[in-house]
Amino acid sequence: MNRREFLKNTAKAVAGVTVPLAAIEILSPARVQALKADSSVRWAFLVDTYKCVGCGLCVKACKNENEIPYEANVTRTWVERYVLTKDGKLYADSPKGARDGFTSAKIDLGMGKFQDIRKEDIKKAFFVPKLCNQCENPPCVQVCPVGATYQAPDGVVLVDRTWCIGCGYCIMGCPYGVRFFHPKYHTAEKCNFCYHRINKGLKTACVQACPFGARQIGNIKDPNDPVAKIITTERVGILKSEFGTKPQVFYIGLDEEVR
Amino acid sequence: MKNHVFRPLFAVIGLVVIVLVIRVFYVPKDFGVHERGYMYGWYREGNVSEWKTSVKVKYQGKEYCSGCHADKVQTIDKTPHAIIQCENCHGPANDAIADHPSEQRPKLTIDRTRAQCLRCHLKLVYPTSGRANIRGIDPEKHNPDIECVMCHNPHKPGLEGLK
């Protein structure tokens, strides 16, 4: 055996034994195809921005329901306020994620500064509730190196708290900024459409708490579902469609100012 | 070829084998590729049912409250506040409270603050949002020092319900 052969064989041997067993599994396309069972449920969310009054009761209910510490400045869902003035300026804020609602007319600019806007100067102003988009092609799942964040058969992206190593790739990968670290569990955290509720036939906490019907959840694969009917027959928008993540949170009255 | 050349190679192979053996025992049996393929469906299957079953429901909804407090629900149902869930002001009626025998049952914490009312009733003239349609006040001018519930009955919010 000469040196060249020895190096070749060593490289082959190490490469061969270090390929994990799970990776060998995916090399069989037939097996992957067989696993692609079609689910009869695909959860989707509908937000009507015309109805939202920015009361923040949804955020409060979400934090209580999902045990996100109330004082911590992180939240699974939040409400943004957009105020466009007649001179073309855009102001947007979401103080503490709007967990206490918008109880001041002043715009919170951060760092303790506030902007007063006269009502004569307002061209348009509205509220936009936001939450995890449960994308059809979730980038956070793609980048998770350990399989801790994943997509369940019904489309909801879940986080396995026992499996998450806290690397934060998913937080960086999400173009919508909906993810954060749970202050108590120290694992990646985000909205999961109240998975424990929707699977018991209940509405999500935010949908139930909203007094104005601005939030709705439904099964997009059920043709008789009222939410599915609206999404499939009316004009609805999604956030940041240019990323190709195919969000499953749809908005009525979405505006170009909303990013 | 001398034996000392192979020794590092054996060490590497040994290490790799040890890692793979540990992996077999450490990784749960239900961890692998599922419905959505390798890119999106590589996970521990047991976690799906964990999320479904191990998380407790805290908010029960208005129907649950009306099981015992039917009179209160009927009163409020005739007012514009009928759209508000009881638990939005009274706090979640979670199992911890519901499961107690009546004499030891902890009270729900009711939010009677001004801020709770101002969530909707701060006057904001936002033409393209629902807030523009709600009767609102300027909190700096309208009795700034007292709670709204000192005068207004939240269960009968109209002026005839004034205390």
DSSP string, B53-98: HSSPP----HHHHHTT-HHHHHHHTTSGGGGS-THHHH----HHHH
pLDDT of residue A69: 95
- Closest CB to A199: pick one of B20, B52, B131: B52
Asked whether the beta carbons of residue B131 and residue A101 sit closer than 8 angstroms, the reply is no
Residue pLDDT tens, chain A, 259 long? 787 888 788 778 777 776 555 555 555 555 555 555 567 899 999 999 999 999 999 999 999 999 999 999 999 999 999 999 999 999 999 999 999 999 999 999 988 899 999 989 999 999 999 999 999 999 999 999 999 999 999 999 999 999 999 999 999 999 999 999 999 999 999 999 999 999 999 999 999 999 999 999 999 999 999 999 999 999 999 999 999 999 999 999 998 889 8
Asked whether the beta carbons of residue B119 and residue A57 sit closer than 8 angstroms, the reply is yes
Cβ–Cβ < 8 Å for A220, A46: no
The helix (run of H) or strand (run of E) holding residue B38 is helix B37-40
Answer yes or no: pTM beyond 0.90. no
pLDDT of residue A36: 55
pLDDT of residue A33: 56
Orientation angle between helical segments B3-26 and A3-18, nearest 10 degrees: 10
Q: Please return the burial class of B73, using the count of CB atoms within 10 Å of its CB with bins 0-12, 13-18 and 19+.
A: middle
- Closest CB to A192: pick one of B51, B126, B130: B51
Residues 6+ apart with CB under 8 A from B33: A22, A25, A26, A31, A32, A35, B41, B42
B contacts of A160 (beta carbons < 8 Å): 43-44, 47
How many Å lie between the alpha carbon of B142 and the closest alpha carbon of chain A?
14
Chain A residue with the nearest C-alpha to that of B47: A160
CA distance B79 to A64: 27
Q: Which amino acid is at B124?
A: L
Asked whether the beta carbons of residue A18 and residue B16 sit closer than 8 angstroms, the reply is yes
How many Å lie between the alpha carbon of B103 and the closest alpha carbon of chain A?
25
pLDDT of residue A229: 95
Asked whether the beta carbons of residue A17 and residue B17 sit closer than 8 angstroms, the reply is yes
- Closest CB to B57: pick one of A105, A126, A197: A197
A contacts of B38 (beta carbons < 8 Å): 26, 32
CA distance A105 to A115: 9
SS3 letters across chain A: CCHHHHHHHHHHHHHHHHCCHHHHHCCCHHHHHHHCCCCCCCEEEEEECCCCCCCCHHHHHHHHHCCCCCCCCCCCCEEEEEEEECCCCEEEECHHHHCCCCCCCCEEEECCEEECCCHHHEEEEEEEEECCCCCCCCHHHHHCCCCCEEECCCCCEEECCCCCCCCCHHHHHCCCCCCEECCCCCCEECCCCCHHHHCCCCCCHHHHHCCCCCEEEEECCCCCCHHHHHHHHCCCECCCHHHCCCCCEEEECCCCCCC
Query: Checking DSSP bridges between strand B31-33 and strand B42-44, what pairing results, if any?
Result: antiparallel
Asked whether the beta carbons of residue B120 and residue A100 sit closer than 8 angstroms, the reply is no
For chain A, the residue count is 259
Asked whether the beta carbons of residue B126 and residue A151 sit closer than 8 angstroms, the reply is no
Asked whether the beta carbons of residue B127 and residue A200 sit closer than 8 angstroms, the reply is no
pLDDT of residue B1: 65
pLDDT of residue B106: 78
pLDDT of residue A16: 73
Which is nearest to A64 in space by CA: B84, B117, B91?
Answer: B91
Asked whether the beta carbons of residue B122 and residue A105 sit closer than 8 angstroms, the reply is yes
- Closest CB to B16: pick one of A17, A21, A142: A17
pLDDT of residue A10: 78
**ipTM of the complex as predicted:** 0.87
Place of tokens 């700096």: B140
Residue pLDDT tens, chain B, 163 long? 678 888 888 888 999 999 999 988 988 989 988 888 888 989 999 999 999 999 999 999 999 999 889 999 999 999 999 999 999 999 998 866 667 777 777 788 899 999 999 999 999 989 888 898 899 999 999 999 899 999 999 998 887 767 6
Span A17-70, pLDDT tens digits: 765 555 555 555 555 555 555 678 999 999 999 999 999 999 999 999 999 999
B contacts of A103 (beta carbons < 8 Å): 115, 118-119, 122, 139
